[in-house]
Structure formats: C-alpha cells, structure tokens
Amino acid sequence: MTYSPEALRAFVEAAQLGSFSAAARKLHKSQSTISTAIANLETDLNVVLFDRQAKHPVLTKEGKRILNQVKEILLANEKLDELATRLSAQTESRLTFILSDIYYSQRHEKNLYDFEQQYPDIEFECLLAEDEDVIELLQTGRANIGVIEARSSYPADISHYRLPHQTDIAIFVAATHPLASLKQVTREQLNNSRQLYLNTYSGHNKLKSSGLVWSAPSYLLLLEMAELGFGWAALPRWLVKRFSHYPLKELNIAGWPKTISIDAVWSNVSPPGPAGRWWLDQLSL
C-alpha cells in the first residue's frame, strides 16, 4: 500500500507540534486539509493515530509507534529525491542561498569563486536572515538552501545536516557603557540595562531580558547599535572582530561566551538541484 507524502508530513507535524492548526500553519495548508489528510491516513492504516477527545490531539500508543516509522519513510523519500535530482542533471537556472551572520568560514569566498567557474550561467542570489526567517524563506520557496543556528528539531518539510563550523557568541557593550567598567556582570545588572536582541521578521524573540529592549533582525545591525552605546548585545565574536569600527567590551558573565553549532538547511518538498547540492557539499568541507 502507498501513502501520500503530504499525509505523512501532516501526521509528523501534528505530532511534533501537538496541534492540527499549528501543523496547518507550518505547512501552509488549511486546518481542514490537515485533518482530512490525517483521517485518510488513519483509514489507510486502519489505526487511530490521535486521541481527539482532549483539547489538543494526543498521539495514541499506536500513533507513537508509527511516528518513528513515518519519519524513516520521509527520510528515505528525501534521499531518493536527492539521488534522482543528481542523476537527472537538470541544473537549476537560479540558486538562492541564505547566509547567517553566525556563519563564518574561510572557504566562503573560495566557494563563490568556484561556483562561478562551475556554474557560470546560473543566477545566484544571497540573502541575509536568521532563525525562523530562514525556515520561512525555505518553506515559501523564496530560497533554496541556507545556514542557521542549529536547533533540536525542524519542521517535517525541512532537511538539515550539521556543519563542521561553530561560532562563539559573547555579550558585548560599547567601551563607554556603564557595564564596561565592571569586572563581573550579573544577570540582574543585565536586566537593569537595555538589551539589544535579535528579533526576526517572523517575530520569534531571542534572549530577551525583562528590562528595556531594542531589537533588530540582523546581528550586524545589533553590532552598530552596541557600538553607539545603546545597550548590550549577544554577538558572534568573529563578527565583532571583523566588522566593529569602535571599541567594544566583552562582558565577563556566568555562562558566557557560548559555542553555537550551525546547520545547513533546505526544503525537502522542493529539494535543491545539482548546483544547490554542489553548494551544500562545499559547506560541509
């Protein structure tokens, strides 16, 4: 028996998010479409996957067992699609890559030169985005591949793999900021000062303190705000070293700096073509 990939993805998303409506938003479908797809899957399997008596659907014992199997099926389908794309050699006419400020690799410039030599006739576009904005750009088809701060889970329609690169993020302030004169800074002292935090267009805040805050959708903008003395910000060390124009002070605070892993991400609904796969291969080096 064959099962609809859309129904399988709907099942996985609903199980992970705990809501049919949340799954619908993630997959850009109506809630009725998700509910129907899952109901049809239950009919095909002759198994009840969700207990719908509670406020939110809860996986049944059978649903929990089937969930892992469905994930394996989707992963196998994804690998088959990638292989078929490679074998067909249907090179895409355009490639859009999402670059994150947390990503730093000495190979990045070389990758650009090599890409131009390998695919001279392909239109290449580079976007800057972070966190949820990266996921949304991939899901809407606006971009093909990207890099993102590694997370524990992804939507069912997003594939990923861990890159060999990591980034150190520390808390910085301008040299003239009151916190810069302290040998050790506490969380309470941070909360009493303005935080400059990363806030994506999708509206998912990051490291937001309880005090006064300003925000921006990129680390470069936060860097400029910090340089002007408007507050403290968690910034990639490499970015500060390379792009700061005025002195910044790294604060000594418990738990910082933090080492961040980075993932390459792409949509498995519209997987990258040969040029995109080439770029992903270079990211892994």
Question: Residue 51 belongs to a domain with what CATH number?
Answer: 1.10.10.10
CATH of the domain at 154: 3.40.190.10
Identify whether residues 234 and 210 lie together within a single domain: yes
DSSP for residue 199: B
Identify whether residues 47 and 9 lie together within a single domain: yes
DSSP for residue 69: H
Q: Where does the pLDDT of residue 87 fall: very low under 50, low under 70, confident under 90, or very high at 90 and above?
A: low
Q: Where does the pLDDT of residue 86 fall: very low under 50, low under 70, confident under 90, or very high at 90 and above?
A: low
Identify whether residues 195 and 256 lie together within a single domain: yes
Q: Residues 179, 173: contact at Cβ < 8 Å?
A: yes
DSSP reduced 3-state for 50? strand
DSSP for residue 165: E
Q: Widest CA span of the chain, in angstroms?
A: 69
Residue 2 CB: number of other CB atoms within 10 A? Answer: 5
pLDDT in the model for residue 77: 83
For the cut 70, the answer to whether the pLDDT of residue 221 exceeds it is yes
**Tally of domains in the chain:** 3
| Share above pLDDT 90 across residues of the chain, in percent, rounded to a whole number | 62
Residue whose C-alpha is closest to residue 157's, from 12, 10, 269, 30:
269
pLDDT in the model for residue 3: 79
pLDDT in the model for residue 89: 60
Q: Which two tokens stand for residue 242?
A: 């390379």
Domain that includes residue 123, residue range: 93-164+262-283
